[in-house]
Amino acid sequence: MKIDEKKCIGCRACSAISSSISISEDAEMRSITFHPHEDLTDRLIETCPTGAISSALTTESITLAFRMKRCSICGEPFATEREIEHVAALMPARFQKSWLDLCPNCRRDGQRRSHARQCILVRGRR
């Protein structure tokens, strides 16, 4: 298994199926270490959303570090900056990209507030 460090976005999907991939994370950075192995390579290639994994053989471990993205409301780190850039590039232009600055909890809170406002508006028309 070989990792293309230019394509890897630090999403951790591969670590969910291989114990040879380890993660360490704090509020600022996420580090992923890929240890050389051949097990599950086909499944790892299928799992990776960016095509960063190939079946080429390597003999050395590699560690990649990614800066974490903080929620613009609560300040919690919730993804790597490269994950967010990857998603932003895939989104249709009509989608509000400001949602990508929010963690999942703050997105849900925003949706609840929006629904509540709509309910109040509808009741006010009656």
Cα–Cα dist 119/100, whole Å: 25
13 DSSP assignment: G
Residue type, 56: A
Q: Which is nearer to ligand SF4, 30 or 106 (CB)?
A: 30
Cα–Cα dist 15/44, whole Å: 9
Q: Using the rule CB under 6 A, which residue among 1, 18, 30, 48 binds ligand SF4?
A: 48
Q: Using the rule CB under 6 A, which residue among 13, 40, 71, 84 binds ligand SF4?
A: 13
68 near ligand SF4 (CB under 6 A): no
- Do the bridges between strand 2-3 and strand 29-34 make them parallel or antiparallel, or are there none, so unpaired? unpaired
Minimal distance in Å, beta carbon 53 to ligand SF4? 5
62 near ligand SF4 (CB under 6 A): no
| Tokens at 93, concatenated | 């232009």
Contact residues for ligand SF4 (CB under 6 A)? Answer: 3, 8-14, 32, 47-48, 50, 52-53
